[in-house]
């Protein structure tokens, strides 16, 4: 079976629509999974929730999602983020808020493959720790028995693939070619950081997401262009923090 994992959409409707066109036309997956943060930063929170709700098989709660519905304390977030979280609350319908409330911190999938999905580190999903490097992944040896062979996460807005080896070491596997066959390492736990649909931060402004074939074990990275300027102008017209639009132009 083929699955798609979409993370960190952040209210960026044109990005999500472009990604879903790519998914439908060129991948035709059996299931679509959502790795958290449908809202935050972006100007279309309600519309983005509606589209995610329509297409997803299962998903998890991101830290911005949790901030909007009061499941995490957002007072420590910096001012611009808190402003958009409060603004987002005012934009959502009861049904859209209920959707966010229905999401859990972690999801274990057993029907469309066997994998784990969380927004931040699965060590303590409600804490939303970032994973950027092997040092962060090494902390997962503490909960290794709870991990699956492949574990999808988001939150960092980067694309990374890490392997927890049998001798309690961690290595990073290259995604430079755009695809990796994981068949030879499926006896170990893998951590796949799935990029960002709506706000990539690795220097490439195109949307990014992951597809995975549960039978061939082929993992692919996808990049999709979208109308970035449309999102930038919408942020400006709503008087949301201008920096949240400008960073989209550079993927930072």
- Residue 55 pLDDT: 97
Question: Could you tell me the CA-to-CA distances from 211 to 21, 97, 102, 219, 229 in Å, in that order?
Answer: 14, 28, 24, 6, 27
**What's the mean pLDDT in 14-43?**
98
Domain of residue 126, residue span: 2-249
Residue 228 has pLDDT above 90, yes or no: yes
* Burial (CB count within 10 angstroms: exposed 0-12, middle 13-18, buried 19+), residue 240: buried
Average pLDDT, the chain: 96
pLDDT digit string, tens, across residues 137-155: 999 999 999 999 999 999 9
Question: Are residues 8 and 37 in contact, defined by beta-carbon separation less than 8 angstroms?
Answer: yes
pLDDT band at 10 (very low <50, low <70, confident <90, very high): very high
Question: Could you tell me the CA-to-CA distances from 151 to 24, 67, 132, 186, 189 in Å, in that order?
Answer: 24, 24, 15, 11, 7
The total number of structural domains in the chain stands at 1
pLDDT band at 81 (very low <50, low <70, confident <90, very high): very high
Low-confidence winner among 16-20, 34-38, 76-80, 82-86 (lowest mean pLDDT): 76-80
Which CATH number covers residue 50?
Answer: 3.60.21.10
């Amino acid at each position: 079976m083929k699955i798609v994992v979409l993370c960190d959409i952040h209210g960026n409707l044109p990005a999500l629509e472009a990604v879903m066109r790519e998914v439908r036309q060129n991948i035709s997956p059996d299931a679509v999974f959502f790795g958290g943060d449908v809202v935050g930063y972006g100007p279309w929170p309600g519309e983005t929730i509606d589209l995610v709700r329509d297409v997803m098989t299962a998903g998890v709660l991101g830290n911005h999602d949790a901030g909007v519905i009061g499941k995490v304390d957002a007072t420590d977030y910096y001012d611009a983020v808190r402003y958009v979280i409060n603004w987002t609350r005012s934009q959502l319908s009861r049904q859209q808020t209920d959707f966010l409330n229905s999401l859990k911190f972690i999801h274990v999938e057993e029907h469309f493959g066997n994998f784990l999905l969380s927004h931040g580190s699965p060590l303590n999903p409600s804490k939303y720790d970032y994973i950027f490097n092997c040092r962060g992944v090494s902390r997962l040896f503490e909960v290794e028995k709870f991990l699956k062979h492949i574990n999808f996460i988001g939150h960092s807005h980067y694309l990374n693939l890490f392997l927890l080896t049998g001798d309690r070491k961690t290595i990073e596997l290259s995604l430079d070619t755009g695809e990796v066959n994981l068949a030879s390492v499926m006896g170990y736990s893998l951590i796949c950081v799935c990029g960002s649909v709506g706000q990539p931060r690795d220097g490439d402004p195109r949307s990014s997401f992951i597809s995975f074939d549960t039978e061939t074990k082929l993992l692919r990275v996808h990049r999709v262009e979208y109308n970035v300027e449309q999102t930038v102008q919408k942020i400006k017209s709503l008087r949301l923090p201008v920096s949240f639009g400008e960073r989209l132009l550079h993927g930072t």
